[in-house]
Structures are given as structure tokens and as C-alpha cells.
Amino acid sequence: MLSLVLIALFLSVGETSDGAQQPPAHAQEIYTRAIDLESRGNHSAALALLWEAAGLSPRDPEIQTALGEALERIGAFDAAIGAYRVALQQNPQFRKASNNLILALVKAGKSEEAIARAQALVDAAPKDPDRYFTLGLAQSEQNIDAAVQSFRRALELDPRHALARYNLALALNRADRTAEAIEEMKQALAIDSRAQTHYMLGVMYSRQGEFDAATRELTAASNKDPRSANARIALAAVFQAQRQWDAAEREIRRAIAIAPDPSAYYMLSQVLRQRGDSAGATAAVSEGERLRHEREQEQQASVLTAVGAAKFDARDFTGAVNLFRRATEASDRYAPAFYQLGRALQQLGQDRAAREAFARAAALNPSLAHAQ
């Protein structure tokens, strides 16, 4: 129900901005800061600024597309779809927004519309391999055989289309055609040796019980992308399957140092219990549960903040404040909620309370300290 309210509110946005009309240059300045924060991995601060930039310049397709991508990152797919639709209304030829919309529709369980849009693109340019690639992505959740066919058609048009080759391998793997999938993934690596390709090939080898090959590919993935926690966890799983507990623990702890995650702590607990460290295993489970609870709170806060941002852009500042306050109650560590609360309180003339909200946002995420 909350997602339906969110999309209805989001699609009503477009004619207003926060306070008096401000020049597009100000929105562009905020947008530029947000993109810089995204590039440095500060996603929550970037999202807060993208909401603001989109409110100031609701017809800018670049800003709307960037907002959609940020909303997808927190799982707000309906709101992301709304942002992409706005971008395409302003620039129907904006390929990035079109592709993002198709993929977001798939993630939101709206594969029929996604496939129809992708098929229309193919019909308009049947010699474009990228369009067949996008069609394959749209079909992957509904008709894996059709997806395989679309990826193969993209490769007929461009045999060096690395992403089509990579996703063909994924589709074949999902269809339990693992041997074929491994061969296609090898070919993808020969075209473009990406960390993600090494990672997926390693995972496939691991599931086949080919542990030496899996170790080789997962180590290559970690070397190419030292910040890949997934590669470390997959490598730990290979060591765990071979009862190499020290190596498994080492890789799990490396993954946790990169990106703490509840599942990593649960896996660590299993390894420590196998080694006879019951106290360590219990502590790992406790930390995993703490993180899981924190993530759930942050997810709830992010959804409430997204709904509040849509109300803000519709100039329902009182309604926005109520939602932002609910978001801060759901998680007192979610900086974007406090930042948006400050903006809404400013509109209501509650300057002291606004300053307090901005100060709390800055304390949680210093990149928001000078945003106002």
C-alpha cells in the first residue's frame, strides 16, 4: 500500500519546487555535488541532494534519471519508475532513462510492460544489438528461453558484445545449462576481463565442485576489485566446502571489513562453530542480528522519506514533516530523513527546529553539513 501511495504522489510532482522558484543553476550545482558523493560511495547523502535537485528542477531528465537510480538502490522501485517516466516525458530519446525504466519495471514485477517497451525499441531498430540485449534483460524474469534467444541475436549482430555474452551465460546458468554457461562466461572474459565476470565464473565452478578453478577465478576477481565483498564471501564458501576453516574465516573477515552484512556474520558463525569456537560463533550471530535489525529500520525510514519527499514536492509541507518525523522514529541514524525534515520545517517557518534537523543530518553524514 505504501508503494502505491508513493508512486501516486511522485507522479503528481512536476510544477513546483521548494519555496520560491530558484534558478536551474542552483539545481545543477546540487546535482553535481550529489553525483560526486555517489562516486565516493556516500549514497545516502547523494540521495538527499538528488531529491532536492529534482524538486528545484523537476523537468531535468538527467537529474530525474540520477534520482531514479538512487531510489532503485534503496529498493524504492515504484518511485524510481516514476522518475524515469518524468525523464522520458522531457526527452523521449534519452536512451539511459529508457533502459533504466525497462529494468526497473522488471525489478518491480512489471515484466509485461518492460518486454513491450523493449520489443518496441527492437522493432524500431532491428539491427541494433544493444536493443536486443535490453530485450533479453526484460525477458529474463519471465521467459528464460526467449531471453537466451535475444542475447544470441545481439551476439550475431555484435560478436564482441561483452555484456550480451555475460548475460547469456547467466541465463543459461539459470536454465541449469551450466556447462554451456561456463563456456559463454569464458568467452565474455576473453572479450573484457572484468572482476564481475571472474566472480560469476568462479561461482559457477564452485557449484560444479570444481574448487581449484573456482579459487582461481574468485582470487582474480578480488585482485581486480579489492573492494568486492561478494568475491571474498564466495571464496570463503569454497574454502568452507573444503573444510579449510582458517582460510574461510580470513576471507569472511575481509568481506566484513569491506561491507558489514548480516549474512557474512551468520556465515562466520558457522565457520567458528566448526572450529569449536562457540563463544565467537554466538557473538557473530548477535552482531548479524543487530545489523539485520538496523537494516530493516533504515529500509523503513527510506521508504517513509521517499513518500515524504513526494509530498514536499507537491507542497504539502505539513504532511511531509509528519512522514519525515515517522522516518526519524523508524531509524534515528538515517541522515536523509533528518535533512528532508529540515527542508520541510524551513518551509513552515520553523527555523530553529529546521536547524536542529540539519545539524542531526550533518552529525550522521558530514557531507550534508554545508548543503544548506
**What is the C-alpha radius of gyration for the chain, rounded to an integer number of angstroms?**
23
The alpha carbon dihedral of 197, 122, 59, 14 has a sign of negative
Read off the pLDDT of residues 245-258 as tens digits, 9 standing for 90 and up: 999 999 999 999 99
Residue 145 above 70 pLDDT?
yes
For 346-355, the pLDDT digits (tens) are: 999 999 999 9
DSSP string, 239-261: HHHTT-HHHHHHHHHHHHHHS--
313 falls in which pLDDT band (50, 70, 90)?
Answer: confident
What would be the CATH architecture of the domain defined by 195-244?
Alpha Horseshoe (1.25)
Whether pLDDT at 14 is above 60 = no
Residue-level pLDDT at 23 = 52
- CATH T-level fold of 111-192: 1.25.40
pLDDT at 371: 53
If you average pLDDT over every residue of the chain, what do you get? 92
Residue ranges per structural domain of the chain: 111-192, 195-244
User: For residue 58, which phi and psi values (nearest 5 degrees)?
Assistant: -70, -10
Q: Which three cell numbers, joined as nine digits, stand for 289?
A: 542480528
Instruction: Please check the confidence at residue 123 and state whether its pLDDT lies above 60.
Output: yes
Give yes or no on whether 111-192 and 195-244 have one common fold.
yes
According to the model, what pLDDT value does residue 116 have? 97
Confidence (pTM): 0.84
Distance of alpha carbon 132 from alpha carbon 130, whole angstroms: 5
Is the predicted pLDDT of residue 109 greater than 70, yes or no?
yes
Mean pLDDT of 174-198: 96
CA pair distance 295, 254, nearest whole angstrom: 20
CB 303 within 8 A of CB 5: no
15 burial level (CB within 10 Å; 0-12, 13-18, 19+): exposed
Residue 276 pLDDT exceeds 80: yes
Burial of 74 (0-12, 13-18, 19+ CB in 10 A): buried
- The kind and range of the H/E element at 358 are helix 351-364
Question: What is the average per-residue pLDDT within 152-170?
Answer: 97
Confidence of residue 232 (pLDDT cuts 50, 70, 90): very high
> Does 289 score more than 90 pLDDT?
yes
